[in-house]
A and B are shown apart, each in its own frame.
Chain A
Amino acid sequence: MLELSKHKIVLVIKILFIYIKSIIKSMQKTIIKLTAIIVLAVSMYACAGNKSESIEKEIILEEVTEEDMNSIEYILPSPLQIAELFKNAGLGYIGDLTNKIDKAENYNSKYDQKLNFGVYSADMAYCIMNNQTQESINYLTTLRKLSEKLWMTDILNSIGLAERLESNVGNEDSLTYIMADLQMQMDDYLDENGMGYTGSIIFTGAWIETMYLGAKVNSADQNEKLVSRISEQAVILESLIASIKQNDEDNEYVELIADLEKINKNFDGINDESNENYTLSEEEVKILSEDVSYLRMKIIGG
């Protein structure tokens, strides 16, 4: 009985072997293809690992040979904070100063779109803080259109901005919190998508527009506190220029940097560390205003 079972087992094994052999034979071509592709995929995986290893080694070598191994990172304030500072210092509303919304159709390059997204953000903040409700909503609509071109649509939709603005008309405090939420969303979006450098360019547009509004309002009605806040912007401009330079690997912003550096020359007296409380004179504010207006015209397209 046992011997018969053994015989049966051996027979079954033989049959299985023959069956598997026949399957392998029939799938030979398929197996060869499968093997080749698996080898290729494994090579890709190994290469990715090797590449990251070699990049890591490269970085270590680079750090070892450089004298200064530490790189500084820059934080830029929100345009909202600057706008609020100026408002608190006496920035009143003058109609028709802000950038026309119909110009948004002309901004076709990413360069123009980013800068003017900042410009219109500053204009929206200016209108919100001066209770210009319809203007605020018009600028929000314009920002939506630009954000589509910049693939940033989700930012404005995610916090129900339009509805919140409309339901808080006249409540400046709530409106500024809503603007702060928008800033948060934008920073998160840019960070998650590795677009920190875009934030610097958007900020540039907003900063130039805010400085333009501040200087224009001041020229209409001289205000010491406003001049003090304008003078203080020297602190921001240095960081802004450094931040753009740091990320401008493709030299796309050479001209913009040169224009900002020209404006920065107006702050030479303030950037001198021995003059921490230096405030721009009336003449210096006038020259600064001209340089800011010149760059603003270039950004918004005359």
Chain B
Amino acid sequence: MTFSLNEIEATGKRAARGAGLDWGIAEEAGKAARWLTAHGLPGPELLAELLTRNEGESYDELAPISVDGVWQAKSGWLCPLIAGAALSDRAAQVAAGCEFEFGPIAYPLLLAPYAACGACSRGAAIELSWPGAALTISPDDGLVVEGDMAAVAARTVSSVHCRPAAENTVTPPAGEPGRAVDAETWSRLSAFAHRTFAPATEASRAFGAGAGLVDSD
């Protein structure tokens, strides 16, 4: 089925929240799925796989233990939504030319939308690379992807580098109006999202939405 970017963002946000992430992280996760989709990349698919993989893991297991030197997670594998949020919070350092190195991380492509914040702050392109893949992201959301799709959409990689890019000329975004998302991915995201919805009861139906007087006259 084809979904609008708005639907992908909204469902991505709810799914991330349903998977146990805090609201602020979940908001950015929805935007990350949207950003990748708008760039023709498998945002909803990777988000669904990541949330499934990290089911039951706590924030502390998945977050960088320290942001000095190489970022490493206690569990062994960084969550790109958590590491991405921390990277976006350090956009000023990216702008100042700092380089960041991530240790083992799941679904590194999900870092790209967060790295784009660094490009915006820097006002110039930055490069995100891991074995077999390199992405150049420009401040206007332009993106060049190098590497075969298997490497670009890798499930796990041992390291990722984020640094100022040498090349600044980058293709502007394709501007996709939304995209077909496979039924399996959508149903997984929807199942996570469903956890944020309270079961309806007669009382909530009657009072929660507040229909008081007759509403059909």
Question: Does A pair with B?
Answer: no
Chain B residues with a Cβ under 8 A of chain A: none
Residues of A at the B interface (CB closer than 8 Å) are none
